[in-house]
Structure formats: structure tokens, C-alpha cells
Structure 1
Amino acid sequence: MSDTDQVTLGKRELALPRKPQRRNGREKYEKLLDTLESLLSEREASEITLADLSEAAGVPTASIYHFFPSKDAALTALAERYFDTNFRQDAFRPAATEYTSWQELVCLVSERALSYYQSNSSMQKLRFGPNATWAIRDLIMGNNQRLAEVMFEACSRSFLLPDSNDWHSRFLLAVGISDAFWAMSYSRYGRITGELVSESKRATIAYLKMYIGELLERRTG
């Protein structure tokens, strides 16, 4: 392994939390994440230090570093709780009775995903803010893949899709289009505006329409 690879590996390890195995360690770990969430609701991630977390949680600094070798590791741990542990695909899967077209289906899944991200101000900052680490970006990509699976499965269950081996990647790109509009809106305005939500839907539908077409025949039986 080259010196450059070792430095890169070291930086990556610093961005990852050390998850405890024992019960008392897990309880302290969760307490720290609760405290970090509270701090992040009031400040930007760039304004928070591990010393702030130690003081607010009433936990010795040495204990903070035991779990989080860096602030990025603490933010990654909180993102894992939002974007992995608490992310349930069933919550975004619409019932067949809720839509009459593939366009409505896609919009429903997008709306529910956005509502989930907007339900918590700390989650929004981690999801769309400028301080996302590579580890958080990996978590975001994982969520996008799961949303794409929800869209594809619901669409293929309800409609007769044209034959293709690329549907998973098509729907993943569609989710990515919406995501890009949301991130741009948050970066520009500090929130996700209704106008750019509408634009994201139009862009996503326009992209998928190139491969799906305007109308899909509904499955029967």
C-alpha cells in the first residue's frame, strides 16, 4: 500500500464512528447522538465541535473520542441513524389505489421521501447541507437506491413496463434528478422551495418518459 493510500485510509477511518457492543456503551452512544441532534437543530455543523458535544452532553471528552475520533465521525453516526436505521422502505411504498398513472406513482414516492427528510431540521442539514462526508454521501446513495427499488417494484407490479435490463439504473437516475433539485434549492435558499419541488417532478417525469412513454397499460388480475 502506498503512502497516499495509507493517508486516504487513515482519513476514512477518522470519519467513521466506533460503535459500542455493550449496553452501557450503547446507551452513552445514543445519548451523544441525541445531544448532537439538538445542537445541530440550533447551529450549523461547521459551528459545532466535539468539545461542544462533550459540554452539552456532560460526558468527558475522552469518552467522546472513544466513540467518535473526529466530528465527521459523530455526524456520520447521526446520519446512519437517520438514513439507515430509521429509513423504512415500506413507508414510501404507495398502495396501488393511490395512483392511476406511473407519473403519479413516481411523484408520490418522491413526495414521501422529501417529507421524511424535511421532518427534522437536523436531518435536513446532514442530508442537504455542505458538510456531508464521503460516509454520509454513501448513506445518501444507499437511500436513493432503496427509493429507486420502491419506484421500480411498484411500477412493475402495477403496469406493463417495456422489456429492459436497465430499469434499476433508470429509476436510480430518476431519484438522483429529484435529489439534485432538492440539494440545489437547499444550498441556494436554505430550504426546499415549492417551486423547485415542482421543477424536480417535471424533470424526473421527463427523464423517465424517454424510456417509459406517456402511457403504460395497467396490469389486471
Structure 2
Amino acid sequence: MQTKVKLNPLAVARQPVKQPSRVRFEGILDEAEQLLIEEGIHGFSIPILAERLAYTRASIYHFFPSPYALLNELSQRYLDDSSTKIMKLMTASIESSWQDGFAQIMQFVAKYYNARPVARMLLLGGPVTDQSFRIKEQTNERLGEAVRALLLMKGIALPKEPDLARIAVDIADAVLCHSQYHYDKITNGCRDEAVRAMIAYLAPYAESAG
């Protein structure tokens, strides 16, 4: 029986209700992203962010009770944005082979991460809280759903126990994390190896289905 992880409320953002608060909320996230680009996680803090925005610290803590809450909210923002784009790309690749579909998705993922250093930092650099770990798991869960749906469009139904689509995504994710750690970006070589690893893992199941 799986035990549900109880999240630390200090690691979760308080979502605004009214539009003016939403504008301020998003502005804080935008400035936090810029601070992370300039200083990295180790140089990030609420007091520095408040000074840059000319806000009181309390006005930031109202939405983000800790730095981790802010980092987790940024991670969630990247998750939602990238997932939406990947699902659209998957639909557009219906005329391609499943192998070419994987290559197209991974090309997008590499470009997305390389254009967003904070996304690489937060989603490929290793979780900093239980919530950030959960967000990373959600990222791979959604990518796994995209892989499963892409293969279903090709008449290939993958087993769900174990979840082969999710395992394939985890394999590719390990290659991307390797690239981020060693090169601070997604190199073309690592991108191609991620595709190769996914295809090699799923090919026997695809062939048996065909």
C-alpha cells in the first residue's frame, strides 16, 4: 500500500484569488527566474528578491512562505507549459513513424530546456524538496502519457504494469540529467542518445505488437 507523502506547507505557494494579486504573483516569479539566471540557486533568497522588486519581504512571503515554495512554483510553471506544447507536438507527428515521433519530441525538449536555464536547473539538476520531487515525477508522468499515446496512434499498446512508457521516459531523463550535469546544457549528442535509448528499450515491444 502506497503511503501518501505529507507535504510541508512551507514548500507550497499560496495561489492568489484576485487578478491584481495574480499579476503581482507572476511578477515575483518572473523576477525570481531572472535572479536564478544571474546567481543560481545558491545566490537566491527572498530578501534579495524583495530588494530587486522594491517589495517588502512580507509581501513576497504572503504568496511564497519559503524560497522552496517559490522554486517549486517555477518548476510547476515549466511543467504545465512544456506538457501543453509536447501534447500538441505529439498530435502533429501522427504521420511520422513512432521512432521519428520520439526524435521530434526530444528535439523540442532539448530546445525548450536550452532556452530556459532555470528549467534545466530546477527539473534536471535534482530535487530540493519533496514537492519538487513530486513535480519532477509529474513531468515524467505526463511525458510517459505522451509516449503511450503516440504509440497507440501507431497501433502499439504498451503494458501498464510495469509502465513501459514511463520507464522509457525515465531512461531518456537520465541522459538529459547527465547532459545538464556535465555540460550545463542539452547537447545534440546527448539528445540523440536519449532518443536512441528510448527506441532500443521499446523496439522489442513495438515489434511484437506489429
Shorter chain as denominator, the TM-score bin is 0.7 to 0.9
| Partner residue, 1:96 | 94
| CA RMSD of superposed structures (Å) | 2.3
Render the CA deviation track for 1:141-185: whole Å, top value 9, x for unaligned: 22222222222222212x2326x5428811111111111110111
* Match runs of 1:17-96 below 5 Å: 17-84=13-80, 87-88=83-84, 89-93=86-90, 94-96=92-94
Structure 1 residue corresponding to 2:156, chosen from 147, 161, 174: 161
Question: What TM-score do you get using the length of structure 2 for normalisation?
Answer: 0.86
Quote the sequence identity (%): 28
Question: What TM-score do you get using the length of structure 1 for normalisation?
Answer: 0.82
| Partner residue, 2:200 | 206
Q: Select the structure of larger CA radius of gyration.
A: 1
For the pair 1:181 / 2:188, whether they are aligned, the reply is no
Aligned residues, how many?
204
- The 2-side partners of 1:165 and 1:200 are apart by 21
| Partner residue, 2:119 | 123
| Partner residue, 1:112 | 108
Could you list the structure 1 runs, at least 4 aligned residues long, displaced by more than 4 angstroms after superposition.
none
Question: Residue 67 of structure 1: SS of its match in structure 2?
Answer: coil
Q: Are the equivalent residues in 1 in contact too, given 2:46–2:60 (CA < 8 A)?
A: yes
Q: Tell me the CA shift for residue 64 of structure 1.
A: 1.3
Residues 192 and 85 of structure 1, relative CA distance in 2, 3 Å threshold: closer
- The 2-side partners of 1:130 and 1:209 are apart by 29
- The 1-side partners of 2:114 and 2:186 are apart by 9
Query: Is there any run of 5+ residues in structure 2 with no aligned partner, and where?
Result: none
| Partner residue, 2:185 | 191
